Amino acid sequence: MDMDLEGPGLHVFFNIDPNELRFTLNDVLAGVAPPEAACVRLSEKMNLNGGEIYYSPASVRVAEIMRTLKTGFELDMFDNAVKRLQEKYGLHYLLIDTHPGIEHDTLLALGVCDHQMIVSRIDQQDIFGTGVMIEVSTTFEKPIHLVLNMIPPRVKEAEVLKFARIIGAHFTVDMAGWLPFSEEVIGSLSRSVLTLKQPKHAMTTRFRQIAENIEGFA
């Protein structure tokens, strides 16, 4: 679910033309479309051998983005939409990708989710924002997991773990994994899903480990 209403971008990964979408999550939040109407089945497109994957896009039209942000959000409506999707499609996991900051849509997702996963680089700005996000999230009393991302190649794993321990000493957060900076990921320019294109790539292995961690949440 692309809940980054201020700047949606997941459609690029899935190679979907946003102009072909009849309904988006913005319509669901506005109450003009049921959640399943704003849901795209990607199983065939992703050539999955098993399982199902659905994608709930957000609108890229500026007018609709502004309308949604101005209208505001209502927890129950979003919660009901999430529940309806879970029941309709028998979802095992529903991943909500939010805006990288504390916006209203982020808080709404925090209110509805069971677990929160924060992906952060280890630069000053991201770590500060991550710290604030963790502090705010603790008020929701839900498990928080942290993935450190784009770790520079010269940084050793021991140093990453040391930094993770420092974060862990100050905040209640679980380290779910870390991802090194990858030229291949950057090179794909968000045009495809790396784990499907290069299943034997080292980054794919790391993504799988994080996915296994997520499976362990349940």
Partner 1 sequence: MTDPTGAARSSTNSTTSSGPSWFVFTNYPAACGASTSLVGVYKINVTETVHSLGASVATGQFQVGLTDNASYQRTNLVMIRASGYIPLDNVTVNLTQGSTSVPNFPTIQRTDTNGMIALAWQTTVGTLLGNYLVTMSGASTPAKVPPDLQIFTVYPTNITISGIWLNSGSVQRSQTLEFRFNATYLNGSPALSGSAPIRVTEPNGTNHTITASYDSSLQTFRAFYATTLSSTTGVWIGTLDVNSFSDGLNNGGPLNPVFANFNVQPASLAVSAVSYNATYSSGMIVPIYVRITTPTAVSFTQGTVTATITSFGRRIAGPLSLVYDPSRGEWSGSYKVNATDPSGTWLVTIAASDGYGNTGQNSASLSVNTSGALNPTQSFLSTWTFWLLVLALIVIGFGILIFRTRSVSHREVRLDVQAIKHQADQVKSDDFLQSIQAQLKRRTERIAAEKEKHD
Nearest in space to 140 (alpha carbons), one of 177, 100, 106, 169 = 106
In whole angstroms, the minimum distance from the beta carbon of 30 to partner 1 comes to 18
Q: Which of residues 172-211 bind partner 1 (CB under 8 A)?
A: none
Q: Are residues 112 and 75 in contact, defined by beta-carbon separation less than 8 angstroms?
A: yes
User: Based on CB atoms, which residue is closest to partner 1, 26 or 120?
Assistant: 120
Alpha helices by DSSP H, the chain? 10-13, 25-29, 62-71, 75-89, 104-112, 124-137, 157-170, 183-187, 194-197, 202-217
Helix (H) or strand (E) run with residue 179 in it: strand 174-180
In whole angstroms, the minimum distance from the beta carbon of 110 to partner 1 comes to 7
The encoded tokens of residue 176 equal 């779910």
Q: Is the dihedral of CA 8, 10, 11, 12 positive or negative?
A: positive
Residue located via tokens 């991550």:
130
The 68-107 site mask, x for binding partner 1 (CB under 8 A), equals ------xxx--x----------------------x-x--x
In whole angstroms, the minimum distance from the beta carbon of 147 to partner 1 comes to 16
Q: In residues, how long is the chain?
A: 218
Q: What would the DSSP string read from start to end of 147-165?
A: EEEEE-TTS-HHHHHHHHH
User: Based on CB atoms, which residue is closest to partner 1, 52 or 79?
Assistant: 79
In whole angstroms, the minimum distance from the beta carbon of 131 to partner 1 comes to 4
User: Based on CB atoms, which residue is closest to partner 1, 171 or 207?
Assistant: 171
Cα–Cα distance for residue pair 21/178, rounded to 1 Å: 34
State yes or no: residue 167 binds partner 1 (CB under 8 A).
Answer: yes
Q: Which of residues 107-166 bind partner 1 (CB under 8 A)?
A: 107-108, 110-111, 122-124, 127-128, 131-132, 135-136, 139-140, 151-152, 154-155, 159, 163, 166
Number of residues that bind partner 1 (CB under 8 A): 30
In whole angstroms, the minimum distance from the beta carbon of 14 to partner 1 comes to 29
Number of C-beta neighbours around residue 16 at 10 A: 16
In whole angstroms, the minimum distance from the beta carbon of 79 to partner 1 comes to 7
Instruction: Please report, as ranges, the residues that interact with partner 1 according to CB under 8 A.
Output: 74-76, 79, 102, 104, 107-108, 110-111, 122-124, 127-128, 131-132, 135-136, 139-140, 151-152, 154-155, 159, 163, 166-167, 170
